Amino acid sequence: MTDDTYTPPEVWTWQQPSGGKFASINRPVAGATHDKDLPVGAHPFQLYSLATPNGVKVTVMFEELLAAGHDAEYDAWKIDIGEGDQFGSGFVAINPNSKIPALLDRSGDTPVRVFESGSILLHLAEKYGTFLPSHGPARTETLNWLMWQMGSAPYLGGGFGHFYAYAPKKWQYPIDRFAMEVKRQLDVLDRQLAERPFIAGDSYTIADIAIWPWYGQLCLGRLYDAATFLDVKSYKHVMAWAEKIDARTPVQRGRMVNRSFGEPHLQLHERHSAQDFETRTQDKIGEGT
């Protein structure tokens, strides 16, 4: 991996810069770095996020709720993690962990903060009574897979994705270690989807909404440019599922929200109404807006 031998010190200390794409925002302490209030729109739900896989989970959920006829209008505000927006005092007040997405539910008498993407999906599913079976084994199975995603994705994102795509150098050992784990996870999904049309059974649920932005988009070639490296086409059942979910209109819309990369017509930096998809994408308002 390298000619250098690293001996860990007795007590680790933070040495900057650490290298890599996100070195400027990584730090070993929590809390706000600056005072900054968050904007608030007119709708009951205020989402502060970015179109990373974890952010896409929540915007897809909102778009699915709206497409199903639920009164779930939301304002989606872009949080630029590269600029450290997640360390502003207003954001930290909603999510003390300083990670997107963060949601403020203002639909009741008292605003409720909801953080962690899985918690937001569960909160919304229970609030509207949809995309999650109400009781019994089907509900438990859905929650099994929601928790599987929350526990597994760090190996894909922080593990494989970091060392394969973002680390300052390519080191074989961590890439091999995390590639092996990601392929094992894909095999878990492939075996599951060989026996059922959706992750948790016969119905589309928050399990699919949680897993697809990570593993579905990986198989569709949208994460880390690693589809060939991981031979994703060999996971035929996952590929078919990924394409099926990708064809859903709410999923396509959810992918656009808070997105600031890729083709301008697929970027909707902020979303405040359904009409914004037609009038406020970056190809219509300009790259610098």
Residue 287's pLDDT is: 53
5-26 burial code (b ≥16 CB/10 A, e <16): eeeeeeeeeeeeeeeeeeeeee
Percent of the chain whose predicted confidence (pLDDT) is above 90:
92
Residue 1's pLDDT is: 41
Structure token digits, residue 158? 């922080």
Residue 25's pLDDT is: 82
CB 117 within 8 A of CB 57: yes
Q: Chain-wide mean pLDDT for the chain?
A: 95
Distance CA 274, CA 172 (A): 46
| Per-residue model confidence as pLDDT tens digits over 16-68 | 766 777 777 888 999 999 999 999 999 999 999 999 999 999 999 999 999 99
- The β-bridge partners of 198 are 201
Which CATH number applies to 136-247: 3.40.50.2300, 3.90.1200.10, 1.20.1050.10, 3.30.2010.10? 1.20.1050.10
Residue 6 — very low, low, confident or very high, per pLDDT cuts 50/70/90? Answer: confident
Q: In Å, what is the CA distance from 274 to each residue of 162, 250, 284?
A: 34, 11, 15
| Per-residue model confidence as pLDDT tens digits over 189-220 | 999 999 999 999 999 999 999 999 999 999 99
173-212 burial code (b ≥16 CB/10 A, e <16): ebbeebbeebbebbeebbebbeeeebbbbebbbbbbbbbb
Structure token digits, residue 80? 């630029």
Distance CA 58, CA 62 (A): 6
Amino acid at 26: N
Instruction: Give the residue-averaged pLDDT of 131-155.
Output: 98
What is residue 124's DSSP assignment? Answer: H
Domain ranges of the chain: 136-247
Structure token digits, residue 204? 């589309």
Distance CA 89, CA 142 (A): 35
Residue 49: which of 270, 286, 288, 277 has the closest Cα?
270
Instruction: Determine the 3-state secondary structure of 90 from DSSP.
Output: helix
Residue 21's pLDDT is: 76
Dihedral sign, CA of 157, 250, 79, 93?
negative
Residue 112's pLDDT is: 98
CB 156 within 8 A of CB 164: no
Distance CA 182, CA 190 (A): 12
Phi and psi at residue 222, in whole multiples of 5°? -105, 0
**Residue 232 exposed, middle or buried by CB count within 10 Å (0-12, 13-18, 19+):** buried
For 187-252, the DSSP string reads HHHHHHHTS-SBTTBSS--HHHHHHIIIIIHHHTT-STT-TTTTTGGG-HHHHHHHHHHHT-HHHH
Residue 20's pLDDT is: 74
- The residue count of the chain comes to 289
Phi and psi at residue 258, in whole multiples of 5°? 60, 20
Residue 243's pLDDT is: 98
| Per-residue model confidence as pLDDT tens digits over 212-246 | 999 999 999 999 999 999 999 999 999 999 999 99
